[in-house]
Amino acid sequence: MTELSFIHRFEPTTDAKRPPLLLLHGTGGDENDLLGLGRMTSPGSALLSPRGKILENGMPRFFRRLAEGVFDEEDVRFRANELADFVAEARKAYGLEAPIAVGFSNGANIAAAMLMLRPEVLAGAALLRAMVPLSQAPDVDLAGKRVLMISGAMDPIIPAENAKRLAASLSASGAGVQHEILSAGHNLSQTDLQLLVRWFAE
């Protein structure tokens, strides 16, 4: 495996028509967590899966938080730029187009932050259980980028209003946002997978 700035897993494409995926795990996950989801979601896509560099009680994350649902926004900005630099490195090392991020929870939040801060790095994003990463959304042009957001109506961690605000903010920046709200909690369900597969097939 190529030495890059993040510990990561890479699986090369077996279907050049499929976009590469950037897989971003939730709190306590690692670079192996979402590989299965990536393979099922977009069979044949190249998969790039980094491990978050922040440890919270020994659990990897992509950025620091001050409390549940309260983010260290300075760290969010720093880490989103650091991760964007890694994606640029990996694209060069592995010969990839701009990937579509597939992020869960903390991984979805860093993906949303990357869309806002470094939009050129991602072709689009599937944000599973995401919330607003930056209280002041930067002025950014996301025209031409597709975003799928899947929220859980009974998610104890993310207020419904917060998820709606993120969807509205991304839409206002020009992204083509599809926001689905499932009768689910914070964990992923079979319906999440079905929605992902359908979205990638479109």
> How many residues are listed for the chain in this entry?
202
168 token code pair: 């509205």
The residue type of 96 is L
Residues 63, 106: contact at Cβ < 8 Å?
Answer: yes
Tokens 């899966």 found at: 49
Tokens coding 171: 């839409």
Q: Tell me the backbone φ, ψ of residue 65, rounded to 5 degrees.
A: -130, 155
The answer to whether residues 13 and 22 touch, using CB atoms and an 8 Å cutoff, is no
Quick check: 153 and 146 in contact, CB under 8 A?
no
> Which residues are tagged catalytic?
105, 155, 186
Instruction: Please report, for residues 15, 46, 53, 89, the alpha-carbon distance to residue 5 in angstroms, rounded to integers and kept in the order given.
Output: 27, 19, 10, 8
Cα atoms in the 13 Å half-sphere on the side-chain side of 11: 20
Rounded distance between C-alpha atoms, residue 62 and residue 118, angstroms: 16
